[in-house]
Chain A
Amino acid sequence: DQQVKQNSPSLSVQEGRISILNCDYTNSMFDYFLWYKKYPAEGPTFLISISSIKDKNEDGRFTVFLNKSAKHLSLHIVPSQPGDSAVYFCAARRGTGFQKLVFGTGTRLLVSP
């Protein structure tokens, strides 16, 4: 049972344009969401997060939007740069108990010059 879903396995964008990566979740108990970025031969690294009490969080070129009613979040990258080319994982966590992140399957972003 995939509780966190990233339905687009890949996305191609031109440099300077906006990249939008989407993520859906099924468990309404999730209340904290994170995005991780992964380059080849490296481990995932934390990018940005959002609590369920917010609907938007921004950090430089990266913005995460959360729509709780739709159980949907998205990551916007503006402007996209070739160095953003990587696999992006969406992850979710319940607020109580120990930290246990549930990850999606990832979306491979390719930003072309």
Chain B
Amino acid sequence: DAGVIQSPRHEVTEMGQEVTLRCKPISGHNSLFWYRQTMMRGLELLIYFNNNVPIDDSGMPEDRFSAKMPNASFSTLKIQPSEPRDSAVYFCASSLKVGQASSGANVLTFGAGSRLTVL
């Protein structure tokens, strides 16, 4: 398995532009997570899906952010319009067997991240 695949790896855009980040989770994983990494706050959970359904989007900063998961093998995180403070590394992660919380096997597998710079 190629792991969690994210694109683009790097994105530089100007303030006000729309940004779309993409993620392909590991085949067979039924949960998908979008995290954002900043120096000040570390890894923040933005939203997560279970079986393609958004479960908790309380971490989404504001209405400029939206995420979709149209099928089990693809998800997007969109920022419209983008602002300089959105500059960060955005990680997608997937996992299996959500709900069996006592199992140590429920670890997240992360993609390599998408580094976003908004000028």
Contact = CB atoms under 8 A, between A and B. Distances in A.
Interface of A: 2, 6, 32, 34, 36, 41-46, 49, 51, 89, 91, 93-106
Interface of B: 4, 31, 33, 35, 39-45, 48, 50, 55-56, 91, 93, 95, 98-99, 101-102, 104, 106-113
A45 B109 CA distance: 7
Nearest to A53: B102
B41 A32 contact: no
A105 B101 contact: no
Contacts of A95: 101-102
Main DSSP-derived SS at the A contact region: loop
Given A32-B101, A43-B113, A102 B45 contact: yes
B93 to A, nearest CB: 7
24 contacts: A6-B42, A32-B102, A36-B110, A43-B91, A43-B109, A43-B112, A44-B91, A44-B108, A44-B110, A46-B109, A49-B107, A51-B104, A89-B42, A96-B101, A97-B101, A98-B31, A98-B50, A99-B108, A100-B45, A101-B45, A101-B108, A103-B45, A105-B41, A106-B42
B42 A103 contact: yes
Contacts of A44: 43, 91, 108, 110
